[in-house]
Amino acid sequence: MRKIIVQKFGGTSVADTEKIKNVAKIVIKEKQNGNDVVVVVSAMGHTTDYLVKMAKDLCANPSGREMDMLLSTGEGVSIALLAMAIQAQGYDAVSFNAMQIGIMTENVHSKARIVDIKTEKLKENLKEGKIIVVAGFQGVTEDGEITTLGRGGSDTSAVALAAALNAERCDIYTDVEGVYTTDPRVVPNASRLDEISYEEMLELAHAGANVLHPRSVETAKQFNVPMRVRSSFKLDNLGTLILGVEKMEIYKPVTGVAADLSQARIVVCDVPDKPGVAAKIFSRLAKENISVDMIIQSYARKVSNTNDIAFTIDSVDLNKTVEALEALKSEIGATGDIQVDENIAKVSIVGAGMIDRPGVASAMFETLAEQNINIRMISTSEIKISCLVDKCDAQQAVKALHKVFELESNEIAEVKGDLPNV
């Protein structure tokens, strides 16, 4: 049986007709390798920005439903053009939007999750030897409402299609050459990783990397779909393969170093030390759709029987968070201030290898101490250790950790396009 490869090309890869021709060549190459090919594409270049601008001209707060209707047209354009470009090179191609295939999502606008993908039409067309071009980022509900999947949605579409079709691999073509040990703009000799596990990729992504949206990696992990991140423009470079940790050949204790500069720290001071207080705070924030990252609760003070609860959030949620907490203060009996600090950064080291190797955490803390960098908060997971430091120390911390954990390459990475990853 022929293998199915799902390929995904983002907006910069299909930004104009010349680039679409380039994509058609890559797609045909894979077909010539003897594989069945399903291609997922995003809207061309700045289409989405342009559409959003028009919407804002008309309506301060456009409805999610109409916004999804509007934005989903972007992929309609790119799938048709790519199918034409493939046909122009003598190969049979057919484009489908989410409604035509049946990429079923929950009934939520602007950030729906895929619940099912019908494969009948896809299998039928693959059987006829056709290259299938699918609109990413969009879905449809049981009621025929058009939805979109939110940030990184096309990556998720591609992985979900790969899972539904039991594909050999999902190749994410983008404008970076793969996943790096850290941001090459900070550390010029950062190495491109040949392999990384789903878990490490997830931790790196949550820690501020932006090559792939975490949801696509989570989906790949869930269905065990190998993903490859590679450049649309440098085809001699195979990029980075993302796969189950059990399939990885070798791994170092630390795979990557990331800095996240977009967090803010909140401290709710003098909170009564009794059960249910933390639950009240965090369930209230969850209700407001505010994601909380690191959480530290201090030891209770013997005299006052109070403690301090500190946590970090994304800076964009800062005002909303402070409002919510001020409203909650009397209810939970907090007597102190609500302190806010935006002048912080979260520096993380990630690696599946740290599970079996003690001493990784202490090596991190020692390295930061040697650099005279003060650690404000610490949090750990199985494969990640994060330290909150002053924002001005973040770059120095990344450089030192990258060196200590031997992540350097002999080459200087070429930085192209947006921030590759951190």
- Residue 334: phi and psi, rounded to 5, are -75, 135
**What are 382's two structure tokens?**
């199985």
Q: Which DSSP symbol is given to 193?
A: P
- Of the residues 15, 52, 80, 338, which one makes contact with a copy of itself according to CB under 8 A: 80
**Of 35, 46, 52, 99, which lies in the binding site for a copy of itself, with binding defined by CB under 8 A?**
99
Is residue 278 involved in binding a copy of itself (CB under 8 A)? no
Q: What is the closest distance, in whole angstroms, from the C-beta atom of residue 341 to a copy of itself in the complex?
A: 39
CB 65 → a copy of itself: shortest distance, Å? 7
Torsion of CA 138, 244, 3, 194, to 10 degrees: 90
Determine the interface stretch with a copy of itself among 14-22, 242-250, 260-268, 276-284 (rule: CB under 8 A): 14-22
**Helix-then-strand count for the chain, H and E:** 12, 20
Say whether residue 100 binds a copy of itself (CB under 8 A). Answer: yes
**How many residues sit in the footprint of a copy of itself (CB under 8 A)?**
39
Picking from 202, 205, 254, the residue whose alpha carbon sits closest to that of residue 367 is 254
Distances (CA, A) of 94 to 15, 132, 267: 20, 5, 55
Radius of gyration of the chain (CA): 23
Q: In the 3-class helix/strand/coil scheme, how is 323-346 assigned residue by residue?
A: HHHHHHHHHHCCCCCEEEECCEEE
Residue nearer to a copy of itself on the CB measure, 78 or 240: 78
- In the structure encoding, which two tokens stand for residue 154, read together? 């096309």
Residue (58 or 250) nearer to a copy of itself, CB: 58
3-state secondary structure 208-244: CCCCCCHHHHHHHHHHCCCEEEEECCCCCCCCEEEEC
Binding residue for a copy of itself (CB under 8 A) from 58, 90, 246, 289? Answer: 58
Contact between 237 and a copy of itself by CB under 8 A: the answer reads no
Which of 15, 52, 87, 336 binds a copy of itself (CB under 8 A)? It is 87
Candidates 94-102, 295-303, 322-330, 358-366; binding stretch for a copy of itself (CB under 8 A): 94-102
Q: 125-184: which residues touch a copy of itself (CB under 8 A)?
A: 144-146
Q: How far is the CB of 124 from a copy of itself (least distance, A)?
A: 11
Q: Is 108 in the site for a copy of itself (CB under 8 A)?
A: no
* 361 contacts a copy of itself (rule: CB under 8 A): no
CA–CA distance, 82 with 61 (Å, rounded to integer): 33
- Compute the half-sphere exposure of residue 370: CA atoms within 13 Å on the CB side of its CA: 12
Q: Is 93 exposed, middle or buried (0-12, 13-18, 19+ CB in 10 A)?
A: buried
Site pattern 366..385 for a copy of itself (x: CB under 8 A): --------------------
Among 95, 181, 321, 348, binds a copy of itself (CB under 8 A): 95
- Name which position in 12, 13, 48, 72 contacts a copy of itself (CB under 8 A): 72
51 contributes a contact to a copy of itself by CB under 8 A: yes
Phi–psi pair at 288, nearest 5 degrees: -85, 5
- Say which amino acid occupies 52: V
Identify which of residues 117 and 354 has a Cβ nearer to a copy of itself in the complex.
117
Residues that bind a copy of itself (CB under 8 A): 17, 20-21, 51, 54-55, 57-60, 62-63, 65-67, 69-70, 72-74, 76-77, 79-81, 83-85, 87-88, 94-95, 97, 99-100, 121, 144-146
